[in-house]
Structure 1
Amino acid sequence: MGDDLSMFLAVGAILHQLLCFKATVKERRKYTAYILGSLIPVSVYHVWADEIILHEIAFAVMIFLVSKYTRALIKVQITSEEARKKLGRMATFGISTGLFGYFLWNIDFHACYYVTVFKRWVGLPWGFLFELHGWWHIFTAIGAYVGMALVEYLVTIEEGETGRVEEGFVWPVREVLRDLDGVERKGMDGKKMK
């Protein structure tokens, strides 16, 4: 259950930051109430009834909203078309990685018995490759990090003045932001400015 609920915490934090960016205090309270008013009852029901369908639907809706609002924020915050494309690819990488991890989790959840039998048949060390629940943690962690870092970058930057902000991030975000830093420092003639 803790794994399932941590999914809500990660995506809920990103969604909250996206909705509250440039919002008034009254709007922030409203968004916070909407998110908590949705997630708390779904989480309580999920734990109490040990039911997964409502949890998966709520998670999918949140992922859709985060993806939609992140892409909209890229369009609003970034004027350079080349930088938009790079950040869009990073957003696609993050969502794809997270969804792939979620896909592996679903296989592990719905076909646990068969996966376990197969892992035992294959044996160690190769059975480790089919430890889908572990891979779920790795892939969703990468996806959540990319999403959180991208949104943090988008809500704090002043385009053209990154000030080496990428140094506060790790792979893959650091490499994309370093690349953007170079794009934003190009002069009108396409040569890099000093």
Structure 2
Amino acid sequence: MSGLTPAGVEGFWGPVTSTLDWCEENYLLSQYVAEWWNTTSNLVFHLTALIGIYNAVRVKAEARIIYSFLALAVVGTGSAAFHGSLTYGMQLMDELPMIYGSCIFVFSTLQMFPPGKFPALTSVVLAAYALFVTVVYIMLRDPVFHQVSYAVLVAITSLVPIAHINKLGRIYPRTKGLLWFLYVTSLGSYLLGFLLWNIDNHYCDAFRSWRNNTGYPMRVLGELHAWWHLLTGYGSYGSVILSQYMRLLALGKANTIEFKYYGILPVIVPRDQKRRKGE
């Protein structure tokens, strides 16, 4: 892929064995972390996952929601391990959980309205898809195959909710604006991250030169792959919240929760009992 660079300085983890080595200079800030900013930026996945799981438990959310937030944490852990070491084994720990977690998201998206159509079959098909991608990717070791396989799942979770929002908007007109806002901000954050990911890949030399001439702290702004993590972490969290809220509406349980924003972070929390009695 254009813009991906050969191994840089060898550090604690030895020579680069991964099939990808990103634009951030290797072992620049620590001999123990291959790509410092690409590694630490994955904290966004852990923080949002913890917040999501905490609130999901408080509102007695379905297992699918908790699994979705857990998937974010697993992806963040795998990505940090990959960028921190640039070894092939850790690369698989990053890329394969992206497929598995997205399969959970797809299941939640397709099985939105009760009683659900063929939930067992949906689970089997998604499990088979995940197994197929795993086996073929390990055999081919082709990053493009992984990226296309992942894009198929992202397309489903990006397009199907449009129909859900329109349907729920007719049933609960007061929620339609909020649902669309959450959808647009989540998907928009993800797409912006994807744009920066591509720019980083294709214009790596230019950004490396800019970073070296700029120095800290401003050079961090040019670590576009780290921004990809931050933006997709936020967007993925928002998409799980959207799925959770739509599911509650579909089940007729939206009166048991409150939808709030803590700064820029959407959350679903238990509704105050006094307010529920007054409604």
Q: Scaled by the length of structure 2, what TM-score is found?
A: 0.54
Alignment of structure 1 residues 1-194 onto 2, 5 Å: 1=91, 2-21=93-112, 22=114, 27-78=118-169, 79-157=171-249, 158=251, 161-166=254-259, 171-174=264-267
Q: Which amino acid aligns with 1:155?
A: R
Deviations 1:38-78 (A, max 9, x none): 23322443344332222222222222211222122223334
SS at match of 1:173: strand
> Partner of 2:88 in structure 1?
none
Distance 1:20 1:161 in 2: 17
Q: Which stretch shows the higher mean deviation, 152-161 or 83-92? A: 152-161
Structure number with higher helix proportion: 1
Superposed displacement of residue 113, structure 1? 4.3
Distance 1:117 1:51 in 2: 29
> Partner of 2:28 in structure 1?
none
Q: Which amino acid aligns with 1:118?
A: W
CA contact under 8 A between 1:11 and 1:144: conserved in structure 2? no
Q: Which stretch shows the higher mean deviation, 39-48 or 162-171? A: 162-171
CA contact under 8 A between 1:77 and 1:159: conserved in structure 2? no
Distance 1:113 1:44 in 2: 34
Q: Which stretch shows the higher mean deviation, 120-129 or 32-41? A: 32-41
Superposed displacement of residue 146, structure 1? 0.5
Structure number with higher strand proportion: 2
Distance 2:96 2:233 in 1: 14
Q: Which sections of structure 2, spanning at least 5 residues, go unmatched?
A: 1-90
Superposed displacement of residue 11, structure 1? 2.6
> Partner of 1:189 in structure 2?
none
CA contact under 8 A between 2:185 and 2:235: conserved in structure 1? yes
Q: Which sections of structure 1, spanning at least 5 residues, go unmatched?
A: 186-192
CA contact under 8 A between 2:192 and 2:231: conserved in structure 1? yes
Distance 2:237 2:202 in 1: 26
Q: Which amino acid aligns with 1:115?
A: F
Superposed displacement of residue 32, structure 1? 1.6
Q: Which stretch shows the higher mean deviation, 54-63 or 144-153? A: 54-63
CA contact under 8 A between 2:260 and 2:266: conserved in structure 1? no
The percentage of aligned residue pairs carrying the same residue is 21
CA contact under 8 A between 1:10 and 1:144: conserved in structure 2? no
Distance 1:169 1:31 in 2: 35
Q: Which stretch shows the higher mean deviation, 64-73 or 109-118? A: 109-118
Distance 1:82 1:51 in 2: 47
Distance 2:165 2:120 in 1: 24
Distance 2:175 2:118 in 1: 30
Distance 2:247 2:263 in 1: 18
RMSD over aligned CA atoms reads: 3.2
Superposed displacement of residue 5, structure 1? 3.3
Q: Scaled by the length of structure 1, what TM-score is found?
A: 0.74
Superposed displacement of residue 10, structure 1? 3.7
